[in-house]
Amino acid sequence: MRALKLVSAGKIELQDVPIPELGPEDVLVKVAGAGLCHSDLHILQMDETWPFFGNTVGHEAAGYVEKVGSDVTDLTKGDAVLVSVIWACGRCRACVEGRDNACEVAGSRTMFPTTPGIGPDGGMAEYMKVNARHLDKIGDLDPIAAAPLADAGVTPMHAINSARSRLTPGSTAVVIAVGGLGHMGLQILKATTGARIIAIDNDESKLAIARELGADLVLKSDSSAAQRVLDETNGYGADAVFDFVGVEPTVDLAIQIVAPEGVIRLVGLGGGSFPFVAGTDASSVPWGVNVQRSYGGTRADQLQVIALAQQGKLTVEYLTYPLEKFEQAFADLEHGKVAGRAILVP
C-alpha cells in the first residue's frame, strides 16, 4: 500500500509499504480521508533529534473498517469510523478522571500523549492499524468530510469546554484565526454557547468564511484589532480568547483584550510568549485570568463533536487532494490557500 512517510528533517515521501499485520485487539481501517493540519507543517521543521522519523504522517483520519482482530467484537467490516487523535491508555488516573488528553502512561510531564502520525503510523496511507478502543463509529457521516473532526473539531471543542464557565449568554468570545481549527471552533461556539463571537484573521477570504458561519463581528488582525475589541466591550475585554495561531502578535493581542477573570486558550503552536508577573504590575494579565496551553481533546470531546456534526451544526469546509498530490496540499496550506481543511484521499 502507499503511505506518506516522514523520512528525515523536512522530507516526506510517498512509499510502497506492506499492509500492517493486526494483533487481536486491532482494526485495519481503509482510510477514506486524512486531514492536513498546520501541525504537519510544524513537524517538517523538526531537526534530527525528532524521535519519529520513518513513520507515516497524518493524525486526522476516518475511514471504513476493513478487517478486525480476533478479540474485536463491536466493529464489523464496512463500519464508518473516526480515529481518535490521542491514543490514551484508558486506565491511568488522568484517563479515568476524563483527562485522557493528559494520559500519564502514554505521555510524560513535557511530552504529549501518543498521537498517531506524530508517533505511531498515521492516516496518510491506504490503510491504518488502530487498536479498536481508539475508534468511534460515525454512522452516516461521510468519512472524508468527517476526518478533520478528530483534531480540527476535537481540539477547539476541548478548549471551549474548558472555558464554558465564561461563555454565558451575553459574554464575548474571540476566535483568533479562522483556519482549519478556527472555522470549527467558531461553529462550536455558535452551536453550544450564547456568547457573542468576534472572529479575527489576517486573510480576507478567511474572514468571509467567518461571516458565513455566523460570526457577530469580523476584524482584520492588525494593530487596531485590540482597540476594536475593547470598544465593543466597553473597555472591559473579552471573556474568552481562543488563539489558533500562537505567534507573538496574536499572543500579544490575546493579552491586550482579555477581561478580568477571562480565559485565554493558546492552541496554535507559533511560539509566542507573554510576561506573567505575580504581583501588582499592570503589565501582567488582568486579575483572575486563566491561561491554558491546550493540547488536543478527550474522547468525551470527540463524542460531542461527532454528535454536533450528526445534528448538522458542525460542518467541515474542505477541499480534497489525491494522496499522491501531497506536495501540492502541503504547499497550498503553507501559503494560506486552503479554505477550511485540506484532506488527502488515498
Closest by CA to 225, choosing from 243, 207, 204, 200, is: 200
Alpha-carbon gap, residue 214 to 198, rounded angstroms: 10
Residues numbered 258-297 forming contacts with Zn ion, rule: CB under 5 A: none
Q: Is 301 in the site for Zn ion (CB under 5 A)?
A: no
- Cα distances from 151 to residues 34, 47, 118, 297, in angstroms, run 11, 24, 13, 8
x/- letters, 133..152, toward Zn ion (CB under 5 A): ------------------x-
H/E run at residue 311: none
Binding segment for Zn ion (CB under 5 A), chosen from 80-88, 194-202, 264-272, 278-286, is 80-88
Q: What is the dihedral of CA 262, 263, 268, 273, to 10 degrees?
A: 70
- Residues with Cβ < 8 Å from 331, sequence gap 6 or more? none
Q: Is 88 in the site for Zn ion (CB under 5 A)?
A: yes
Q: What angle do the packed helices 299-310 and 180-192 form, to 10 degrees?
A: 80
Alpha-carbon gap, residue 109 to 302, rounded angstroms: 23
- Is residue 59 a contact partner of residue 122, using CB atoms and an 8 Å limit? yes
Look at residue 206 and give the partner it binds from Zn ion, ligand NAD, none, a contact being a CB closer than 5 to 8 Å depending on partner kind: ligand NAD
Q: Closest separation between CB of residue 78 and ligand NAD, Å?
A: 30
Q: Whose Cβ is closer to ligand NAD: residue 127's or residue 242's?
A: 242
Look at residue 267 and give the partner it binds from Zn ion, ligand NAD, none, a contact being a CB closer than 5 to 8 Å depending on partner kind: ligand NAD
Which residues lie near ligand NAD (CB under 6 A)? Answer: 37-39, 42, 151, 155, 176-182, 200-203, 206, 221, 244-247, 249-250, 267-270, 294-296, 333, 336
Q: Whose Cβ is closer to ligand NAD: residue 12's or residue 245's?
A: 245
Binding segment for Zn ion (CB under 5 A), chosen from 38-46, 48-56, 131-139, 185-193, is 38-46
Q: Which of 46, 75, 92, 247 binds Zn ion (CB under 5 A)?
A: 92
Which residues would be at the binding site for Zn ion (CB under 5 A)?
A: 37, 39, 88-89, 92, 95, 103, 105, 151
